[in-house]
């Protein structure tokens, strides 16, 4: 009976039922920053794989260069869902302040041209 109880883990039914947050200390002394303007996402049933790279072909005529992948980040699905929420909040705040982000590159180019 005791081993059966030990094998059972209770998970919170909702975010509001989680334990109080304890501040997490973060050490950024060895962090390396990189720039990426391209991302590919793929995954497995247990995790998501983000490939980040640099896309140099936008707005250029001539032969296309391959995207140079510089970083691959693998995250579990629970972490990915937390990242999704944080990204959603950050984009919403940005758009509240600066206006909507236009995702169509052609429309962005036309808007930039009309401003100049």
Q: How many CB atoms lie within 10 A of CB 108?
A: 13
Query: Residue 47 pairs with which residues in a beta bridge?
Result: 76
Residue 105 has pLDDT above 90, yes or no: no
Cβ atoms < 10 Å from Cβ of 53:
18
State mean pLDDT over 54-70. 84
Give Cα separations from 109 to 21, 63, 67, 85, 94 (angstroms).
44, 21, 21, 29, 20
3-state secondary structure 4-41: HHHHCCCCCCCHHHCCCCCCCCCCCCCCCCCCCCEEEE
pLDDT, position 64: 85
Confidence band of 27 (pLDDT split at 50, 70, 90): very high
Contact assessment for residue 99 and residue 92, using Cβ atoms and an 8 Å cutoff: no
- The pLDDT score that the predictor gives to residue 11 is 46
pLDDT band at 109 (very low <50, low <70, confident <90, very high): confident
Percentage of residues of the chain with pLDDT beyond 70? 82
């Amino acid at each position: 009976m005791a081993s059966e109880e030990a094998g059972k883990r209770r998970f919170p039914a909702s975010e509001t039922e989680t334990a109080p947050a304890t501040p997490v200390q973060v050490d950024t002394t060895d962090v390396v920053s990189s720039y990426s303007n391209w991302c590919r996402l793929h995954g497995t049933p247990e995790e998501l794989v983000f490939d980040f790279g640099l896309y140099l072909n936008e707005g250029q005529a001539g032969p296309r260069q391959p995207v140079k992948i510089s970083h691959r980040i693998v995250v579990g699905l629970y972490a990915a869902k937390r990242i999704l929420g944080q990204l959603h909040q950050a984009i919403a705040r940005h758009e509240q302040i600066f206006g909507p982000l236009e995702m169509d590159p052609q429309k962005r180019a036309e808007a930039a041209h009309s401003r100049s």
